[in-house]
Chain A
């Protein structure tokens, strides 16, 4: 029976958000990822977000222990996690409660819930279950209680491990997904475990599919998107890992830290096939030193970390700048300060990247806005680092790191790779810091090059790399290192405004919030508001023309996931208000009265929240 034959009961939607949640270890993440992949294969655009509990093994059936995946699928290019969940599949009612309380679900969302708890002999469990279900129904949710365990037991003796496939089966029926895709996904996932495991999982998938066919009275159809190009789907950290490969870098030094680590996992798996090394150092400081040593000895290396790790690396960041050693530092930002919110999103490290190092340490800072960008930005960063003999910081975040998105399959270009290094003997008239008067640029000598010998130093130095304390020399060195940024800045294009080039409100953003901001801007423009947005890829230096863009709008507001004071707080006034990161930078650089709207809930910013903010500023129309 082909699911599409059940037309009539099918409701057409152009997008939907599905959430699968369970205690950790029950496979909700796997099921979610598979559903995302299958949906993408059937032509939907997808964006998935992992729901991660803070602990590795949180207590079972706990509100904070929700683990799973949230999949937004649509028939247009999906650029962000969206607003509220349409359908929730949950393996117990407790994991549901926390998400519900956080306002994640749509008003009348469908909840498909495992009901084994209703008959639990454990004191309190059955009661908690029934009262929660009653409560949810009272709130208007459409709760479908499904005997998942009972159904799974017909096909396996350990339903704990198979419910996720049963759920996948349900979803395949609800969204009319071809089972063939899901079977393929299962076969790929359990390839290493052997055919019997694959067969058992497929059986559960089919059981879920059948069950939904007989028991659930709703179907949705998310029309496929027209796409002519081949697509890939992956998360941002995988994209970063592949960017490292594509950039031609071959040394990645790191120390594990969430949410950056998984970038090194995929890289570790594949890197030595092409002559690369992932070095897990004893700490972040050593990782940065190792990368700098490797860069000094040849071509640019990369070090990947997250906020606390970048904090430790700051002294070495200064060394890379001072010694003009190319270095790519990827910071997959997480909530801070201190160990903050390890698994949650924040964009709080922009100013730390910019100013965290002591002294004047000019460096280039860029931020990918999409998962596709995560891939390409590493290639760009490597190129810039080597061309300008400098440190390039790539600021990703937890949102991009674990979210999965489709993008056109990149077509490999040889130019992406680092060019072969010139090791010919050095012309004796070229000192190691042969700074060009106008651009500050100079040729780099590397060990192995005859005639180029010098001792690199982090101390103030002259053109010969001789330690020099004369005030004039330090002034010069600082000037040349700074000039390189100006030279680089001249190569940047003015970013394009999303929407009309003038109007009442301009929203400026950076990093992973792009999709949400632009979606909100589109929605509000279609309602007649004169709102546009501008997204910055290069945060330092910034391209020319930004001030002129801002001046064409009556108000400018940054939208960011980092803290800013609420001007409505009693103690807050113009003299003491602390602005969000980018806002502060724009105010300082352009002397424009930029305002900010930000929050640090640890969640991606929803388009709806930006819409509400626009509405507050511009008034309903």
Chain B
């Protein structure tokens, strides 16, 4: 394995890990913050998949959402605003054996980190990226975000946001090499969990936009979706997600959508009257950067010595023309 010799790790037969085993510090998110629901779903995934604590890394940027790594008991990297994705790629290139998750806010991903987001999709590292989209800047206290709906009042747009928001799903679907795109809301735990689970099992860069309530700064955010479940549209398909009967009863708007159908995925992403949730697109045939760039050989010292010898020969000064 690249870089590190994992053979020497003494691994005890793991005991079954319970949910509590994945709990990190006590969350300091506001009461009712949707981030809590995302955390719960992710912890459940860890438990269900029995992810080894030491082999799992949550990488984040800066923002409320980005506190995530502190609230799980695995390894974590709480880095810089907007820079979570390249940091996570660095982790993954050296350690393809690790489960890498990325948690970003909407400012984090779609504003300061936009370049990284586009290139992360294109590079297609095998990891799960979660965009906690609360349509607002939480940590810095209610400034307009690239996903804030037009007209919404924020501290930097007291007269109402003047630009149309970015649509992270259609944007991602437009990027070369896109491999997995889903959208879900944090307040339907069953679906949230299912989407994250599917993302986890996807081979490649799995991008999930999770609509996340921020009761503190957007108390009325996503109101229409909460008030009338029919404004959400469940995407279901035999190749996609199956929706339980209970859910189907509550959320009556469904659409059969095969996640291999890019054209329909794009059409759905651009719908104005409904918010589709589920898997928009999935394609596992795209090569992962961490696979195509992963060197095949172990970097042992003999190889280094040989390589240096070869290079020094190349730049060496032969003493005598025939030498």
Contact = CB atoms under 8 A, between A and B. Distances in A.
A231 interface: yes
A103 interface: no
Interface string B5-38: 1101111100000000000110000000000000
A290 B93 contact: yes
A451 B304 contact: no
Interface centre among B10, B52, B88, B94 (most CB of A within 10 A): B94
Interface string B70-84: 101111111110010
Interface in B52-93: 52-59, 62, 67, 69-70, 72-80, 83, 85-93
A292 B88 CA distance: 9
Contact of A293 (B10, B91, B319): B91
A456 B80 contact: no
Contacts of A245: 304, 307-308, 311
B321 interface: yes
B28 to A, nearest CB: 9
A420 B2 contact: no
B90 A180 contact: no
Given A253-B90, A316-B83, A406 B317 contact: yes
Given A291-B90, A409-B312, A412-B309, A275 B77 contact: no
Interface in B286-323: 293-295, 297-299, 301, 303-312, 315-319, 321-322
Nearest to A426: B54
Contacts of B311: 242, 245, 270
A43 B318 CA distance: 10
A286 B119 contact: yes
Contacts of A180: 321-322
Interface string A477-497: 000000000000000000000
Interface in B112-155: 115-116, 118-119
A454 interface: yes
B3 interface: yes
A41 B318 CA distance: 6
A299 B75 CA distance: 16
**Residue of A37, A294, A295, A298 contacting most chain B CB atoms (<10 Å):** A294
Interface stretch (A148-156, A232-240, A511-519): A232-240
A279 B308 contact: no
A40 B317 contact: yes
A359 interface: no
Contacts of A282: 86, 115-116, 118-119
B95 interface: yes
A504 interface: no
A248 B304 contact: yes
A423 B79 contact: no
A289 B87 contact: yes
A450 interface: yes
A306 to B, nearest CB: 19
A397 interface: no
Contacts of B93: 251, 277, 279, 290, 293-294
A447 B89 CA distance: 14
B188 interface: no
Interface in B173-222: none
Contacts of A410: 308, 312
B79 A250 contact: no
Nearest to A269: B311
Interface string A296-312: 11110100000000000
A275 B86 contact: no
A276 B95 contact: no
B261 interface: no
B54 A450 contact: yes
Interface string A36-61: 01001101000000000000000000
Contacts of A238: 315
Nearest to A432: B75
Consensus secondary structure, chain B interface: mixed
Contacts of A423: 4-6, 8-9
B262 interface: no
Nearest to A273: B307
Nearest to B75: A447
Contacts of A233: 315, 317
A297 B299 contact: no
A274 B97 CA distance: 20
B98 interface: yes
A251 B90 contact: yes
Given A448-B6, A453-B53, A453-B73, A296 B90 contact: yes
A200 interface: no
A551 interface: no
A248 B299 contact: yes
Contacts of B75: 447, 452-455
A566 interface: no
A274 B318 contact: no
B83 A298 contact: no
A466 B86 contact: no
Interface residues of A, number: 78
Give the interface size class of chain B: 35 or more
Nearest to B294: A277
A277 B293 contact: yes
A450 B95 contact: no
A286 B95 contact: no
A41 B319 contact: yes
A184 B319 CA distance: 13
Contacts of B318: 41, 184
Contacts of B316: 230-232, 409
B10 A425 contact: yes
A293 B9 contact: no
Contacts of B83: 285-286, 289, 316
A406 B54 CA distance: 48
A301 B90 contact: yes
A407 to B, nearest CB: 10
Contacts of A446: 4
Nearest to A448: B54
A251 B86 CA distance: 13
A268 to B, nearest CB: 11
A41 B90 contact: no
A276 B54 CA distance: 24
B90 A250 contact: no
Nearest to B293: A277
A313 to B, nearest CB: 11
Interface in A371-386: none
Interface string A215-230: 0000000000000001
A459 interface: yes
Contact of A274 (B92, B94, B118, B307): B307
A457 B70 contact: yes
Nearest to A232: B315
Nearest to A316: B80
Contacts of A467: 67, 70, 78
A315 interface: yes
B91 A458 contact: no
B10 to A, nearest CB: 7
Interface string A405-424: 01001101010010011011
A89 B198 CA distance: 68
B25 to A, nearest CB: 7
B98 A297 contact: yes
A605 interface: no
B177 to A, nearest CB: 14
B137 to A, nearest CB: 17
A447 B312 CA distance: 36
A246 interface: yes
A450 B94 CA distance: 18
A119 interface: no
A421 B92 CA distance: 17
A437 interface: no
Contacts of A360: none
9 contacts: A233-B315, A245-B311, A253-B90, A286-B119, A289-B90, A421-B5, A450-B12, A450-B54, A466-B25
Q: Which 8 A-B pairs have the closest CB atoms?
A: A293-B90, A455-B76, A275-B299, A180-B321, A289-B86, A286-B86, A455-B69, A294-B90
